[in-house]
Structure 1
């Protein structure tokens, strides 16, 4: 089941999203790429879509770093016992 920020495999294939970009924020990348293509990649045209996508990427990065910190803390605690 795809979340609100994760596109289905069929959508990703239909919009030809490269494998490297198929992550937690893939559903936000599709409208960003459509907007970019429609507006000939003018950087000022798709600011809202780009900001939304970059915020999702940042939030995902922070989530993964917090998870890694918990794993490292648990490993350090286990090693000290």
Structure 2
């Protein structure tokens, strides 16, 4: 189960990316292609929480959603830095 693999996600805020989910896990937790990135584990946890919330309205998924959004933001910043470095390398080669 995903909780056994990623139980450390509940303890800490997002400072590093979680381990990538296997293709089997991505299919098992029905992660859409759009969200199959470095933060797919957080997405899967959020989706599982939403399912629990639909069964029990006292469950709150705010923390899971925040962790997923924070991870997506960090990934965006990482990709922007990579793009900037790539452009600088291309300029240096000219």
Same fold (TM over 0.5): yes
2:84 corresponds to 1:75: no
Two-structure CA RMSD over aligned residues (Å): 1.9
The 4+ residue runs of structure 1 with deviation greater than 3 A are none
Q: Is the 8 A contact 2:18 2:38 kept in 1?
A: no
Gaps of 5+ in 1: none
Q: 1:15: Cα distance to partner?
A: 1.3
1:36 match: 50
Give the count of matched residue pairs: 75
1:4 match: 18
2:81 corresponds to 1:66: yes
Gaps of 5+ in 2: 1-16
Q: 1:13: Cα distance to partner?
A: 0.8
* Greater radius of gyration (CA): 1
Q: TM-score by structure 1 length?
A: 0.80
Q: TM-score by structure 2 length?
A: 0.70
Q: Residues of 1 paired with 2:37 and 2:20: CA distance? A: 7
